[in-house]
Amino acid sequence: MTTKPRLQLALDHTRLDAALLTVERLHPHVDIIEAGTILCISAGIQAVGTLRERCPQHTLVADLKVADAGTTLAEQAFSQGANWMTVICAAPLATMAAALEVAERYQGEIQIELFGRWTLEDAKAWRALGIKQAIYHRGRDAQASGQTWGQQDLDTMKALSDLGIELSITGGITPPDLPLFKQIAVTAFIAGRALAEAADPVAAARQFHSAINEIWRS
Ligand code: 5RP
Ligand code: MG
């Protein structure tokens, strides 16, 4: 039986106060909270700590997309209360191993952010290190330039699942997109703008959950 995907709120605000307003409204309606790359760069790593204080029970992700200095940056994220931290797929294996060592010390996990160029051979090497999670990502800029989801994405997701990688999916995701992924074992759908910028964010979160419950009936 496939586990029901969870809903992750990505906070990609450029101001911490705005992100906190969004999380205040939405935290009861989402399963996982993400301190987004934009938020962490704009407000600093303290954004992770503040979100941990405000949402002590949620799984908390630091979406740092780390490319180097794996030990130092993982120490920053996990000591602020993150459960999961992202490392970019282009990072050297040494960076992934260093970040993973810190994550495991905090009982946390590393997620590989899949952007641009990477191969299934790379994915096998990540698994061999002990990394279990990845995020299949259609980047904002790629989306804005017209990139859509297609069969090639689904085939690649299936191949990653076959390697034992737990996949979250993101990149301009909205509820009507979800049926496309019904054959995929999805850990979480990660939504930023579709939740935070909705006219009624709580109603938008409910639409995500309705779609998930409809498609992944247990
Ligand atoms: C961009 C990100 C975003 O957090 C992710 O894409 C979710 O945001 P949105 O749903 O607005 O695309 O990591 O690099
Ligand atoms: Mg993000």
Answer yes or no: is 35 within a domain: yes
CB 36 within 8 A of CB 192: yes
Q: Position of tokens 């996982």?
A: 32
Ligand 1 atom with least separation from CA of 10: 4
Global pTM value: 0.97
Q: How far does the centroid of ligand 2 lie from the alpha carbon of residue 136, in Å?
A: 11
Answer yes or no: is 102 within a domain: yes
79 pairs with which residues across the strands? Answer: none
Answer yes or no: is 118 within a domain: yes
Instruction: Give the model's pLDDT for residue 26.
Output: 98
In this prediction, residues 151-158 reach a mean pLDDT of: 96
Q: Check which CATH number belongs to the domain holding 150 and give it.
A: 3.20.20.70
Neighbours of 173 (CB within 10 A): 25
**Catalytic one of 73, 112, 169, 204:** 73
Residue 37 a catalytic site member: yes
Per-position DSSP letters for 31-83, written without gaps between them: SEEEE-HHHHHHH-THHHHHHHHH-TTSEEEEEEEE-S-HHHHHHHHHHTT-S
Residue to probe by mutation, ligand 1, list 85, 89, 140, most atoms within 8 Å of CB: 140
Domain count, the chain: 1
Answer yes or no: is 189 within a domain: yes
Q: How far does the centroid of ligand 2 lie from the alpha carbon of residue 172, in Å?
A: 11
Ligand 1 atom with least separation from CA of 194: 10
Say yes or no to pLDDT of 142 above 90: no
Ligand 1 neighbours (beta carbon < 6 A): 10, 12, 36-37, 63, 139-140, 170-173, 190-194
Domain housing 72: 6-215
Answer yes or no: is 1 within a domain: no
Q: How far does the centroid of ligand 2 lie from the alpha carbon of residue 12, in Å?
A: 7
Per-position DSSP letters for 110-152, written without gaps between them: EEEEE-SS--HHHHHHHHHHT--EEEEE--HHHHHTT----HH
In this prediction, residues 12-37 reach a mean pLDDT of: 98
Answer yes or no: is 147 within a domain: yes
The 10s digit of each residue's pLDDT in 86-132 is 999 999 999 999 999 999 999 999 999 998 899 999 999 999 999 99
Instruction: Give the model's pLDDT for residue 157.
Output: 97
